[in-house]
Structure 1
Amino acid sequence: MKAVLIDDENPALLQLERLIHADGRLEISGKFTRIGSGLEHVAENQADVVFLDIEMPGMNGLEAGEKLMAMIPDLQIVFVTAYNHYAIEAFELNALDYLLKPVDPARFAKTVSRIESQLKNTQEQAGVQVPVESMVICFKRLLLGDNVAAGSLLKWRTQKAQELFAFLLHQQDRWVTKDVILETLWPQLKLDKATTQLHTSVYQVRKMLKQWGVKALIEFAHDSYRLLRIGFTTDVDLFTHGSQIGPVTTEQEWQRLEQTLNLYQGDYLEEHDYFWAKPMREELLRRYIHCSIAAAAYESQIGRERQALQRLLSLKMKEPYSDEICQSIMKVYHAQGNQAAVASEYQSFVSLIGNDLETKPEAETIRLYSELMNIG
């Protein structure tokens, strides 16, 4: 097992070197007093574990650990510190272990044993085939699972780790600056505390991705992050692809559209109510309404008016102020020959938007009503 040592204090490096030689299970591939040099070495040479001092000039060791994990997700990191509070924080960041200075030999031996065990687990997991049905569910609530229908779901350690994953997933492989993430997810915290929360959440997300078994990564570069989506799809991806339709003219097209509509089990991330998800939520709802109306139009056209009407009335409960839905309902009632229902639907819509929104129906709704009722 190859180890890299990074500490700005030579005496600390010397002690670690002596402990490693005495233990005999690790091989030192590099030792550095500057974080930058250590990062360059790890990027260019094989390493299994990095012993990393937390308190170093130029870059906090926790941030350096984040950069290392972004480069090599399976890299094991052991933080070394003289301060207990940093040790606790290091553990929260999902480090493999931490060591307090001066390092106790017996404690060091336990750490090496832990490294051996973790590397063995990582090698075993590398041989596991990733399920082809890995999917992220975003409609209604965020769920991760190898096979969601079977209920094989994973749970987040904290709500903020879950939101960070959702936020990066929402960006669709785009890079997001660290500042934007901090302002979005932790606007109420001071910079140092918000940064610590970010580091903690990044580690937790990376741990979740490993547990899930997909090849997705959180990458970090130029003070920015992105989620590289590998090994899974989302219900939103499938819905977006399937909702790109024109008029439905065949039963086969209707069946494909029905499968797409069934993906929409609730509004986008509805139960989490993330403010940053609102524009996407509204866009996906607009697509859902458009596709539902297209399906209802086909059903009405081939004589399945009751099915079309049931679909549209359910849609109306979701979006009661929609002129487009009102127009479609009136058309179906007219196709049934139920003129009284056409008039009732129109009048109730006029009353609803007048009382709640203090507005009137769109010109097209008024024109359609007049045409259907043969007015004027």
Structure 2
Amino acid sequence: MKAILVDDERLALVHMEKMLGRYGNITVIGKFQLAGEAIEQAKELQPDVAFLDIHMPEYTGLQAAVLLQEVCPAIQIVFVTAHDQYALQAFELDASDYLTKPPVAERLDMTVERLFKRRGEQGQVKEGSSMAYGINCFQTLRFQYKDRPAELPKWRTANSQELFAYMLHNRGEVVRKSTLLELLWPELDKKRAMTQLYTAIYIIRQCLQKMNVDITIVNLSIQEGYVLDIGQVSIETELWERELAQISDSLEESHPALGKVLERYEGDYLKDYDYIWAEPERERLRKLWLFHARRLSRFYSDKPDLRTQSIKLLEKIQAFDPYNEEEGVVLLRLYDDAGEYDKVTASYRRLYDAYMVDLGIGIPKDAEQWFEDWKSKRERAERML
């Protein structure tokens, strides 16, 4: 196993190299007092593990860990410091271990054993696993695989989750660090915010690696920003929109295909998250779905044999846009024709609440009159039984 040591104290480097010399299976290939120099050299050296001090000039060990992973994605990190208050943050970065200065032989033995164990685990692909081939952003963000169910990523922190979602939203484009600091940590000073950013980037990379996702975060420069490269991974919203555009305008021929594509719209774009920046795309895709769903609904209305599909589609349209009076009345009539009288009452109540409670205005007269006439007809029919 190849190791690099990074510590601004020369004696600490000498001591750690001497202690690691006890192990015949670890070779120290570089010692650095400046983290920036270690990061520059790591791309060529490709170390398996880095022993990092946390308190250093230029970059902290926490920041250096993130940047080292940029050039060595599989590198393991061991923090070595006299300040144990950083232990929790170190393990949140998925560090292999955390040693306090001066490290003792017995404790270092445990670290080395852990390093080799983790190295073996990282070198193996779990049985039954496969590279993720798609990301679904309808409703909630999840990874899709060819031979197993979709998985929800475990981001550890809400900020790392939003950071990934934002970079995915802007995939292939430069996302400036200043933009990310303002978006996610506006209350922090720049130094503390940058530490949080580096930590979140590290967490995301670890999560992607564990979930076997072929997506990389490219750091264009230390000062500028990041680019999310999704490689061959597909985005469900893009595929959905592309397939929608390819469907023929003639619904007589294409209505089955259009129905299947519309069913794949499981929920609004990133609906489960309250990201304000996602709202324009959320609204755009929702309007696109509603436009085609209403086209198909009008087509179904002229086909008595497609009543079931018409009801199902109108129910979904109403869920996305509950304030359309005309569609509300059409759905009431369809329920009545199908003999689903309980649903007539329940659907009218939802329409009533949408206008009276949500909008604070009276329910449209046509809908109210239809329901009153229907209710009177039902009461007469029941009395005759």
1:97-133: per-residue Cα shift (whole Å, max 9, x none)?
12222221222222121111111112113x9786366
- Which residue type is aligned with residue 141 of structure 1? T
**Structure 1 gap segments, 5+ residues each:** 334-347, 359-376
SS in 2 for 1:221: strand
- Which residue type is aligned with residue 319 of structure 1? D
Identify the range of structure 1 (229-238 vs 206-215) with the bigger mean alpha-carbon deviation: 229-238
- Which residue type is aligned with residue 320 of structure 2? K
SS in 1 for 2:124: helix
Deviation at 1:219, TM superposition (A): 2.6
1:243–1:287 contact (8 Å) kept in structure 2:
no
Output aligned runs, 1:5-16, within 5 Å: 5-16=5-16
Deviation at 1:320, TM superposition (A): 4.3
2:133–2:146 contact (8 Å) kept in structure 1:
yes
Q: Aligned pair in 2 of structure 1 residues 54, 251: CA closer, same or farther (>3 Å)? A: farther
2:142–2:152 contact (8 Å) kept in structure 1:
yes
Deviation at 1:75, TM superposition (A): 1.0
Q: Aligned pair in 2 of structure 1 residues 116, 12: CA closer, same or farther (>3 Å)? A: same
What residue number does 1:277 align with?
A: 278
- Which residue type is aligned with residue 75 of structure 1? I
Q: TM-score, normalised by structure 1?
A: 0.78
What residue number does 1:254 align with?
A: 255
Deviation at 1:303, TM superposition (A): 6.6
CA RMSD of aligned residues (A): 3.6
What residue number does 1:2 align with?
A: 2
SS in 1 for 2:287: helix
Deviation at 1:156, TM superposition (A): 3.6
What residue number does 1:311 align with?
A: 313
Matches of 2:316 and 2:20, distance apart in 1: 68
Matches of 2:280 and 2:292, distance apart in 1: 19
In the alignment, does 2:266 pair up with 1:265? yes
2:66–2:198 contact (8 Å) kept in structure 1:
yes
Deviation at 1:175, TM superposition (A): 2.3
1:136–1:232 contact (8 Å) kept in structure 2:
yes
Deviation at 1:42, TM superposition (A): 0.7
2:50–2:76 contact (8 Å) kept in structure 1:
yes
1:93–1:200 contact (8 Å) kept in structure 2:
yes
- Which residue type is aligned with residue 166 of structure 1? A
Deviation at 1:246, TM superposition (A): 6.5
Q: Aligned pair in 2 of structure 1 residues 311, 304: CA closer, same or farther (>3 Å)? A: farther
Q: Aligned pair in 2 of structure 1 residues 313, 39: CA closer, same or farther (>3 Å)? A: closer
Matches of 2:313 and 2:20, distance apart in 1: 69
- Which residue type is aligned with residue 203 of structure 1? Y
Output aligned runs, 1:215-226, within 5 Å: 215-222=214-221, 223=223, 224-226=225-227
Q: Aligned pair in 2 of structure 1 residues 318, 228: CA closer, same or farther (>3 Å)? A: same
Matches of 1:115 and 1:36, distance apart in 2: 24
Matches of 1:149 and 1:262, distance apart in 2: 21
Output aligned runs, 1:159-308, within 5 Å: 159-222=158-221, 223=223, 224-230=225-231, 232-245=233-246, 248-249=249-250, 253-300=254-301, 306=307, 307-308=309-310
In the alignment, does 2:88 pair up with 1:83? no
What residue number does 1:22 align with?
A: 22
SS in 2 for 1:243: helix
What residue number does 1:46 align with?
A: 46
- Which residue type is aligned with residue 139 of structure 1? F
Deviation at 1:260, TM superposition (A): 1.8
Q: Aligned pair in 2 of structure 1 residues 264, 42: CA closer, same or farther (>3 Å)? A: same
1:235–1:263 contact (8 Å) kept in structure 2:
no
In the alignment, does 2:33 pair up with 1:33? yes
Identify the range of structure 1 (112-121 vs 221-230) with the bigger mean alpha-carbon deviation: 221-230
Matches of 2:257 and 2:318, distance apart in 1: 23
Q: Aligned pair in 2 of structure 1 residues 148, 293: CA closer, same or farther (>3 Å)? A: farther
SS in 1 for 2:99: strand
Q: Aligned pair in 2 of structure 1 residues 147, 273: CA closer, same or farther (>3 Å)? A: farther
Deviation at 1:61, TM superposition (A): 2.1
Deviation at 1:247, TM superposition (A): 5.4
2:5–2:31 contact (8 Å) kept in structure 1:
yes
Deviation at 1:289, TM superposition (A): 1.1
1:7–1:13 contact (8 Å) kept in structure 2:
yes
Identify the range of structure 1 (262-271 vs 187-196) with the bigger mean alpha-carbon deviation: 187-196
2:251–2:296 contact (8 Å) kept in structure 1:
no
1:79–1:90 contact (8 Å) kept in structure 2:
yes
Matches of 1:22 and 1:153, distance apart in 2: 43
Q: Aligned pair in 2 of structure 1 residues 9, 310: CA closer, same or farther (>3 Å)? A: closer
Matches of 1:168 and 1:56, distance apart in 2: 29
Matches of 1:77 and 1:287, distance apart in 2: 47
Identify the range of structure 1 (193-202 vs 115-124) with the bigger mean alpha-carbon deviation: 193-202
- Which residue type is aligned with residue 274 of structure 2? D
- The count of aligned residue pairs is 342
Deviation at 1:152, TM superposition (A): 5.0
1:7–1:56 contact (8 Å) kept in structure 2:
yes
Deviation at 1:40, TM superposition (A): 1.6
Deviation at 1:305, TM superposition (A): 6.9
